[in-house]
Amino acid sequence: MQLLKLVQNRVRLGEPLPWGVRNVEGKLLLAQGQVIATEAQLSALLERGAFVDAEEVRAAHAAEARRSAERAPDLFTLWERALWQVQRVLKSVDEAGFASRVDEAARHIAALTERDADIAIYLCVRQDPKRLALYGLFHEIHCAVVGHLVARRLQWDEARTLTLMKAALTMNITVLELQGRLAIQGVPPTDSQRALVKAHPEEAVEALRRSGIDDTEWLRAVGEHHECPGGGGYPAGLAEPSAVADLLRHVDVFTAKLSPRATRPPMPSQTAARQLFQSDPGGPFAAALIKELGIYPPGELVRLKSGERAVVLRRSGHASTPTVASITDRRGMPIVSTVVRDTAKPEFAIVGAESDKSIVLRMQPERLYGIVQ
């Protein structure tokens, strides 16, 4: 028997021991499965001299590795994996089978969105400013998520909704890296960059056609997603873009405003929604988008009547009274654990969006939502 000295950080108080604890002679003091409940008990044991059998430790590590492999990944991990899946798919545009891979990626994003739409919206609203170089990739996914939710509210059928999502994932396929550079460069675009941006709808369509895609509605949505009803858009100044393209334009503009840049912070969702409505007063797409996300969508940081600062967690039946998690006390001081508040209660009513979002940028979503499978 090879004995290893037990160190304090290997013991989890209140949990069954994964191995037996022995004295220096190898005599069993505590059997596997017994519990050390307090710091005092642990300190007394260590002072006497506590050891573990190296073979039992190896067996415990192997068992834990098997359990970890068997556990399904949480929803936030699945979203991170989806990001890299979409990146691999978009980089394979010149390889056979591209259309089916985009279809698969779009269906996967739709499934993740349906599993918990509030978390999907949270990830669109609460973006990490340290990952600006991936802006193009994130933006495609955010447009697909919001597009899916709005299309569902509009009662579009599955085929049309899927076309919208595939167009969202591929509309900027030729300028993904440029979008990342523009997000981090901290200065206005150069003339050559502006030319590339203006040409990207037509170039994206050509790239998709070369890959073998012949879906007219998909191609048209990509080519027209910057066109505006009545004219004034680009690249062709069309007066009547397709409905899929027009909804995609709404989603594209709205989600872009929620994204941080090196030159500016993200726009508050209320401001982005107001500008969207003003640009299309009474339009069904703007109205559906605003109704779907709510006045204070998940991920927004708000001030409560109580004085607390809180992050919106989930939408409710009323656009202005979501469920939130307080992350400060009534004096505005950060707290260790989050407290769920119902903003429909007068004492916790939302009094406005919080402009200083630094307090929430370092916060992991798992703290707010827990581990969501």
Is residue 69 pLDDT above 70, yes or no? Answer: no
Confidence of residue 68 (pLDDT cuts 50, 70, 90): low
Q: How far apart are CA 173 and CA 221, in angstroms?
A: 13
What mean pLDDT do residues 166-194 have?
96
Lowest mean per-residue pLDDT among 16-20, 136-140, 141-145: 16-20
Confidence of residue 70 (pLDDT cuts 50, 70, 90): low
Is residue 9 pLDDT above 80, yes or no? Answer: no
- Could you tell me if 169 and 82 are in contact, meaning their C-beta atoms sit under 8 angstroms apart? no
Q: How far apart are CA 239 and CA 237, in angstroms?
A: 6
Q: How far apart are CA 110 and CA 19, in angstroms?
A: 44
Q: Which residue has the tokens 């390889």?
A: 95
Is residue 71 pLDDT above 70, yes or no? Answer: no
Task: Write the pLDDT tens digit of every residue in 194-228.
Answer: 999 999 999 999 999 999 999 999 999 999 999 99
Percentage of the chain beyond pLDDT 90 is 70
What mean pLDDT do residues 125-131 have?
90
Residue 330, CA atoms < 13 Å, CB-side half-sphere = 4
Q: Could you report how far apart the first and last alpha carbons of the chain are, in Å?
A: 41
Q: How far apart are CA 368 and CA 361, in angstroms?
A: 13
264 CA to centre of own chain? 20
Lowest mean per-residue pLDDT among 13-22, 118-127, 133-142: 13-22
What mean pLDDT do residues 4-10 have?
82
Is residue 58 pLDDT above 80, yes or no? Answer: yes
DSSP 274-312: HHHHHHSTT-HHHHHHHHHH-SS-TT-EEEETTS-EEEE
- Could you tell me if 181 and 138 are in contact, meaning their C-beta atoms sit under 8 angstroms apart? no
Question: How many degrees, rounded to 5, is the angle at CA 155 between CA 151 and CA 159?
Answer: 70
User: Which positions ≥6 away from 281 have C-beta within 8 Å?
Assistant: none
Q: How far apart are CA 175 and CA 197, in angstroms?
A: 7
Q: How far apart are CA 60 and CA 193, in angstroms?
A: 57
The two tokens of residue 5 are 């000295």
Q: Which fold has domain 75-293?
A: Hypothetical protein af1432 (1.10.3210)
Residue 201, CA atoms < 13 Å, CB-side half-sphere = 21
Task: Write the pLDDT tens digit of every residue in 301-321.
Answer: 999 999 999 999 999 988 899
Q: How far apart are CA 296 and CA 353, in angstroms?
A: 8
Instruction: Compute, in degrees rounded to 10, the torsion defined by CA atoms 335, 338, 343, 344.
Output: -130
- CATH 1.10.3210.10 placement within the chain: 75-293
Q: How far apart are CA 105 and CA 94, in angstroms?
A: 17
The two tokens of residue 313 are 């967690």
Q: How many C-beta atoms lie closer than 10 Å to residue 344's C-beta?
A: 15
Confidence of residue 345 (pLDDT cuts 50, 70, 90): very high
Lowest mean per-residue pLDDT among 135-144, 174-183, 251-260, 324-333: 324-333
Q: Looking at residue 25, what DSSP letter applies? A: T
